[in-house]
Amino acid sequence: MRAVSSLFAVTALAIPLVAASPTRAAALDPPTLQAVAADRISATLLVRAGDSGAPGGFAISYMRADQYRVSGGWPGESQQSSAFAQVVDCTFAGVPTLDVTPGVPNFCLEPGQAIEVVIGKLFDETGLSTTDSDELPEGTEYAFRARAAATLDGEQSPYSETVAATTTARSFTDCTVTQGFWKEHPDNWSRVASIRLGSVVYSRQQLQTILTTPARGNGLISLAHQLIAAKLNQLLGAIPPADVLTAMQQADNLIGALVVPPVGAGSLRPSLVRDVRHVLDAFNCGRRGPAHCPSSLDPVPAASETWGRVKIRYR
């Protein structure tokens, strides 16, 4: 299999701005927002608190950039606002355990403090609420804005300026897909009877149940999500590079005899699995090893020769 590198595309601002016009004075200063990275299913944003900080956390809204343009801005800010514009609202006020910024313990920010959030990978994250925790579609430009959340003794801030980021498109055939794909397309792995996680063998039905269970701060579940996807991608025919193979073995060692919820009641600290989970996530997202699968490709299990080799390894 030919290994190719995945590229990400990020634009600092690719859409016309509509300035926020608060109707009353706000007690908090708006944060600044920067798009720092993107892959095929997510966009990473850097939120930096203003001079007053964000003591109650912050909120991020996002929508497709084409809807933003057609609407003439954010719904409610323009007479041209479209009834078809779909805005996703996310509130960050607790403690993250999945994607952690070193030195920043929670989403309640001190003045000038900054934290990264990964929109499109919120399903397993903690400390937030959102109207949509699904992965972002590939090859799609989004508009984002942020504001400091209201506190008991102060109002929420005005919104930040609007920034844009674009998820990358898929264009290769030797490829991988994400945990979200496997979760939403169980028919694509109907030939998989079972997979071993650690020393425990799980049926296909049990694996599907695990994939649809949010981690909620349990590192065992978030690690299992990425390991299931990585092993399914290998069954598909993707060839993991050496560091990914090492991470897969490390994941199995970390899981050991623990039984993953909701099948069992095992748990691991998120900090214990974070580095291994990030390597597996990079593989499944096409940033390490083979590229991500084209959207037109319906993955099927690998040819019988590869299937047999991997089945012996993992069952």
Q: What is the pLDDT of residues 251-273, one digit of tens each?
A: 999 999 999 999 999 999 999 99
Given a contact cutoff of 8 angstroms between Cβ atoms, the answer to whether 291 and 236 are in contact is: no
Alpha helices in 127-260 (DSSP H): 179-184, 204-211, 219-236, 242-255
Q: What is the DSSP letter of 22?
A: -
Model confidence at 311, pLDDT cuts 50, 70, 90, reads very low
Query: Which residues, listed in sequence order, are joined to residue 63 by a DSSP beta bridge?
Result: 143
* Rounded mean pLDDT, 184-190: 88
State the fold for domain 32-166.
Answer: Immunoglobulin-like (2.60.40)
The label of the residue with tokens 């695990």 reads 210
| Tens-place pLDDT, residues 5-64 | 333 344 444 444 444 444 444 579 999 999 999 988 999 999 999 999 999 999 999 999
Evaluate whether 55 touches 152 at the Cβ level (below 8 Å). Answer: no
Nearest-10 crossing angle of helices 204-211, 219-236: 130
For the cut 60, the answer to whether the pLDDT of residue 297 exceeds it is no
Type of residue found at 12? A
Residue 148: strand, helix, or coil:
strand
Position 119 pLDDT exceeds 50: yes
Angle of helix 219-236 relative to helix 270-284, nearest 10 degrees, comes to 20
Q: Are 288 and 282 in contact (CB under 8 A)?
A: yes
Q: Is 197 helix (H, G, I), strand (E, B) or coil?
A: strand
- Domain(s) labelled CATH 2.60.40.10 in the chain stretch across 32-166
**What is the reported pTM?**
0.70
Task: For residues 135-145, give the mean pLDDT.
Answer: 94
Picking from 43, 24, 33, 35, the residue whose alpha carbon sits closest to that of residue 150 is 24
Indicate the range of 64-68, 85-89, 305-309 predicted with least confidence: 305-309
| Gap between the Cα atoms of 282 and 122, Å rounded | 16
